[in-house]
């Protein structure tokens, strides 16, 4: 049995150094003093003492997309021709988007999870390696953009494994987390992931905190994902302007921060290379993360950290 004490001793991943924030509003400080006077049981807080955990995704997909993949250009290409400007929209993802975001994460002191498509990794190996070298997590995101939920068992297993192998070969990172294209896993996906040694997946929106399922008689973690604070859904799907993205995510944070006083809460945000990596969106991220960091107890964590902490924690929700 591993109790909290033991876990903190292991602790390489879970130092309090990851917890940011000192500019607490006065009202909050006085509450905090009260709490100090009379400590209360906080059964559902995070194991490492974080108040609110923020989980950031950075999709590394561009370069691996199929020919004439969907883009902001009118979807009316005549058959037999290449959508050349759309290709340059994707190229932006690795030429400008990822590098810009990497610089921003460094400035902010935030480590993120990068969901890497295998074919994109092979197309831009040095960039994939740099993501890992800068301390971010590499998670698997399929070998390419194929529809996964229709694949027979063996085909799907090879599809997932090829992606993991590509990431390992190029970056040296053993991916333990998975994200299916458009979150659309099939009925076999979790079993396959468990067989391949994955610890968690993110293709689930049902909760605002991680939970554990039993898959193949072993624990498997869901680190829940988001559509509400997701650049591709909001900017390309719902046609938000960048200031709307900021406003909406800020309101999400405010509520989550408030709830996290009494419950374990995890907030998820996601950025895709060619969308979240534009100057306007990086400006948005800077504004948002600067705002969040001003709140005491906010902790930005990679999803592998979250999954391991959830597995360790006896109070994690089980379904």
For residue 66, state whether it binds a second copy (rule: CB under 8 A). Answer: no
CB 113 within 8 A of CB 177: yes
Give start and end residues of each alpha helix (H) in the chain.
Answer: 4-10, 26-37, 84-92, 98-108, 118-123, 125-133, 153-171, 189-195, 231, 242-259, 273-276, 279-293, 303-312
Q: Which one, of 268, 234, 233, lies nearest residue 253 by Cα?
A: 268
- Is the Cβ–Cβ distance between 268 and 57 less than 8 Å? yes
Kindly tell me which of 11 and 73 has the beta carbon lying closer to a second copy.
Answer: 73
Binding segment for a second copy (CB under 8 A), chosen from 113-121, 138-146, 153-161, 176-184, is: 176-184
Would residue 297 be called left, alpha or beta, if left means φ above 0 and alpha means ψ between -120 and 50 degrees?
left
Question: Which residue's CB is nearer to a second copy, number 191 or number 286?
Answer: 286
User: Which is nearer to a second copy, 100 or 157 (by Cβ)?
Assistant: 100
Q: DSSP for 33-46? A: HHHHHS----TTS-
Stretch that binds a second copy, among 18-26, 38-46, 67-75, 127-135 (CB under 8 A): 67-75
Residues 6+ away with beta carbon under 8 Å from 54:
266, 267, 268, 269, 292, 298, 299, 300, 301
Interface residue with a second copy among 88, 214, 290, 315 (CB under 8 A) is 88
> Looking at the chain, how many residues does it have?
319
**Given the complex with a second copy, which of 55 and 171 has the nearer CB atom?**
55
Task: Compute the least distance from the CB of residue 6 to a second copy, in Å.
Answer: 30
Residue whose CB is less far from a second copy, 52 or 166: 52
- Comparing CB distances to a second copy, the nearer of 14 and 203 is 203
Out of 233, 261, 291, 311, point to the residue binding a second copy (CB under 8 A).
233
Residue of 187, 161, 185 whose CA lies nearest to 175? 161
270 vs 112: CA distance, rounded Å: 10
Residue 130 touching a second copy (CB under 8 A): no
Listed ranges 30-38, 108-116, 133-141, 229-237: which one lies at the site for a second copy (CB under 8 A): 229-237
Q: Is 278 in the site for a second copy (CB under 8 A)?
A: yes
By CB under 8 A, residue 85 contacts a second copy: yes
Contacting residues toward a second copy, per CB under 8 A: 72-74, 77-78, 81-85, 88-89, 91-92, 95-96, 100, 147, 149-150, 182-187, 203-208, 227-228, 233-234, 237-245, 247-249, 251-252, 254-256, 259, 267, 278-280, 282-284, 286
């Amino acid at each position: 049995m591993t109790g909290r004490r033991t876990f903190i001793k292991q602790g390489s991943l879970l130092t309090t150094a990851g917890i940011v924030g000192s500019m607490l509003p006065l009202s909050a400080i006085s509450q905090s003093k009260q709490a100090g006077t009379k400590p209360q049981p906080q059964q559902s807080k995070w194991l490492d003492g974080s108040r609110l955990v923020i989980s950031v995704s950075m999709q590394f997909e561009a370069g691996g997309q199929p020919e004439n993949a969907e883009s902001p250009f009118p979807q009316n290409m005549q058959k037999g021709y290449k959508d050349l400007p759309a290709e340059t929209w994707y190229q932006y993802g690795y030429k400008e988007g990822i590098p810009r975001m990497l610089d921003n994460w460094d400035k902010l002191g935030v480590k993120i999870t990068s969901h890497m498509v295998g074919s994109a990794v092979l197309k831009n190996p040095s960039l994939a390696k740099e993501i890992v070298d800068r301390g971010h997590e590499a998670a698997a995101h399929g070998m390419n953009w194929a529809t996964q939920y229709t694949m027979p068992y063996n085909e799907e297993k090879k599809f997932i494994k090829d992606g993991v192998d590509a990431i390992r070969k190029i970056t040296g990172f053993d991916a333990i987390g998975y994200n299916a294209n458009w979150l659309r896993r099939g009925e076999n996906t979790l079993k396959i992931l468990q067989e391949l040694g994955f610890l968690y997946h993110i293709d689930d929106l049902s909760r605002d905190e991680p939970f554990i399922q039993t898959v193949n008689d072993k624990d498997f973690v869901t680190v829940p994902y988001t559509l509400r604070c997701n650049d591709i859904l909001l900017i390309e799907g719902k046609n938000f302007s960048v200031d709307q993205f900021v406003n909406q995510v800020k309101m999400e944070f405010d509520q989550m921060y408030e709830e996290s006083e009494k419950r374990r809460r995890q907030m998820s945000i996601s950025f895709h290379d060619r969308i979240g990596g534009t100057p306007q969106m990086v400006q948005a991220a800077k504004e948002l993360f600067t705002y969040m960091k001003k709140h005491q107890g906010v902790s930005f964590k990679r999803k592998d950290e979250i999954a391991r902490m959830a597995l360790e924690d006896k109070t994690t929700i089980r379904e």
